[in-house]
Chain A
Amino acid sequence: MSSTSLKRETSQQLKNYAGFSQTVRNSLTMAYRGLLKIRRTPEQLFDVTLQPILFTLMFTYIFGGAISGNVHNYLPVIIPGILVQTVITTSIVTGVQLREDMDKGVFDRFKSLPIARIAPLAGALLADTIRYAIATVLTFVMGYIMGYRPDGGLGNVAIAGILVIACSWAISWIFAFFGVIARTASSVQGISMLVLFPLTFLSNAFVPVKTMPHWLQWFVNINPISHLVSAVRELANHGTVGGDLAISLIGAGFIVAVFAPLTVRAYMRRT
């Protein structure tokens, strides 16, 4: 063993907290770890590649005629809806993988390192935005192939895509929280599906709200998913920005503000 690599650095100053820039740096390193893992196990990307293709095809051809008269008229309705639904469903996997990851010994080392406590979680969630990006691009491409020509233009479609990715990242904190508190990966999947199914289907993603009973309309209209879907529709189909965008962003910020600290605390408690 060479003596140089074991020399002690005496000038090192000791702080009892991690500063903001260190938090960002640590999180980015952890995100890099997440990307390396994805590169090592590309089969992890099956769901985000197949689901957009399959769901877009299925839902459009099943509901198209019934809801909008024909498939072509349904595309501006369904593509933003299916986009939000697919990408948010993808974010469940974040929680499941986090659970599996945390059961491994390497998380013990992360805990024993003088790094920002939030970094292992934030990094994992950040790396997963690549999954959301893949799902987003594929959904729009599928829509284009089927004849969807959004009037908002490429720029607004890109903004809409980024909006969905950002909101999904925020929502993934909820599933990360389940991931930290649950005992097994499969129970994370179970709880998350239970939350997600009502949220995505009791929204305006697939059908016009008018067709639902009144009591249900009340829920659909306050459902944040509905607002996100509306915001994407406005951006992609008309190139306009409305109140739905603001509500979506505020909602996303609220989720992060509540669930990020909760998740980190649960993570710290967990042994």
Chain B
Amino acid sequence: MNHILKRGTGPGNGDWAVEASGLVKAFGDNRAVDGVNLNVQTGTIYGVLGPNGAGKTTTIRMLATLLRPDAGSARIFGHDVVKESQVVRQLIGVTGQYASVDESLSATENLIIFSRLLGLGRAEARRKAADLLEEFGLTEAAKRPLKNFSGGMRRRLDLAASLIAQPPLIFLDEPTTGLDPRTRTQMWDTIRRLVKTGSTVLLTTQYLDEADQLADRIAVIDRGRVVAEGTVDELKASVGTSSLQLRVQNQQAIKEARQIVEQVLKVRSNVSAEAGKITAPMADADLVTDLLVALRAAGIHLAEMSVQKPTLDEVFLTITGHGVKENESMKSQKSNVVEEVRV
């Protein structure tokens, strides 16, 4: 499948936060990561999207020096993850899929220990811990043992721990998996704020919505390979054209309007009579101007006009050819959509 899109004219070599080429990691017979190429521009949010077991976590673990690649190479801000691993570790923060904090200690103790390990003095570490706890709304729970923390609090503490050294690159492995919608939105806000302060974020997710919301660019990964890469819009465009939806003011004019649409856009259109809505694929956005002029000339008044882009769900289905297996609800949603269209 050749969905890999041409990357826009990228910046110079120094502006890449992550450059990975041909990364391979096999566990026994299973090639968990099978030749992944990734390039992440400094100061952006990059989303790695894929179902469970696609190789997202393994990829991140290799980039974060936690796992040695079997083949291929990766550089973080120009530093090789294998040869200069200790340098790379000074440039990154990692928030794992499962909170990588110490269960038996309190939130404050966790942050103080990580701060001390990063070379902060005793008083400095204490202050840093207090600052971060306040930023992440955990001050009240600071002294409580982590066993009593909710999933969202744990994730926030985990992220806070990744930010102690203010690393220019932050890896987030499924930062919102298992969080309720409200906490998820909070997490998204936090991630967006991070990027505003100049950090680069590489996050993995299995939620199409999340990638859509956050990421500047997305790599779709499936069975250890990048099957598509580009901006959210590029990916959506790669699947199919957007559709143009028109609603006419006067129901009687709908037939005439449809003829004009088909003539001008040179496509077949659909009409849903009760809604008075015409839907047509929009291959060339320029032609819409002509269409509007033609409609005006024919004296047809529009009540509403909109352009519907394809969703990432559709992108995923088209690219991988098998949809998101793990997410049954999404699948059933999709079949609902198909039925609606048939009706």
Q: Which A residues contact B (CB, under 8 angstroms)?
A: 1-3, 5-9, 12, 14-18, 22, 25-26, 29-30, 32-33, 36-37, 40-41, 104-115, 119, 271
Contact = CB atoms under 8 A, between A and B. Distances in A.
B117 A29 contact: yes
B96 A114 contact: no
Contacts of B85: 16
B240 to A, nearest CB: 39
B66 to A, nearest CB: 5
A41 B102 CA distance: 13
Contact of A40 (B64, B66, B94, B145): B145
Contacts of B96: 105, 108-109
A231 B245 CA distance: 92
Contact of B99 (A105, A112, A113): A105
A33 B101 CA distance: 12
B337 interface: no
B84 interface: yes
A112 B199 contact: no
A45 to B, nearest CB: 14
State the 3 A-B residue pairs at the shortest beta-carbon distance, nearest first: A105-B100, A114-B89, A109-B100
B104 A108 contact: no
B111 to A, nearest CB: 11
Contacts of B99: 105
B193 interface: yes
Interface residues of B, number: 47
B104 A37 contact: yes
Interface in B51-86: 61, 64-67, 79, 84-86
Contacts, number: 107
Given A5-B135, A7-B166, A32-B113, A109 B94 contact: yes
Contacts of A17: 86
Contact of B86 (A3, A12, A15, A119): A15
Given A5-B135, A105-B101, 17 more contacts: A1-B135, A1-B193, A5-B166, A8-B168, A8-B198, A25-B119, A32-B116, A33-B105, A36-B113, A37-B104, A41-B104, A106-B102, A109-B100, A109-B101, A112-B92, A113-B117, A114-B86
Interface string B94-131: 10101111111100010001101111000000001001
B161 to A, nearest CB: 7
Contacts of A16: 84-87
B197 interface: yes
Interface of B: 61, 64-67, 79, 84-87, 89-94, 96, 98-105, 109, 113-114, 116-119, 128, 131-132, 135, 145, 161, 163, 166, 168, 190, 193-194, 197-199
A32 B128 CA distance: 18
B61 A271 contact: yes
A206 to B, nearest CB: 37
Contact of B89 (A25, A107, A113): A113
Given A109-B94, A109-B114, A33 B84 contact: no
A119 B114 CA distance: 13
Contact of A37 (B93, B105, B116, B161): B105
6 contacts: A5-B128, A8-B166, A8-B198, A14-B79, A26-B117, A114-B87
Contacts of B163: 5-6
B102 to A, nearest CB: 5
A12 B114 contact: no
Nearest to B61: A271
A225 B131 CA distance: 51
A17 B84 CA distance: 9
A18 B118 CA distance: 12
Contact of A113 (B61, B87, B118): B118
A230 to B, nearest CB: 40
A5 B131 contact: yes
A179 B199 CA distance: 38
A105 B104 CA distance: 12
B147 to A, nearest CB: 10
Contact of B118 (A3, A40, A105, A114): A114
Contacts of A12: 90
Nearest to A8: B166
A3 B163 CA distance: 12
A264 to B, nearest CB: 14
B87 A106 contact: no
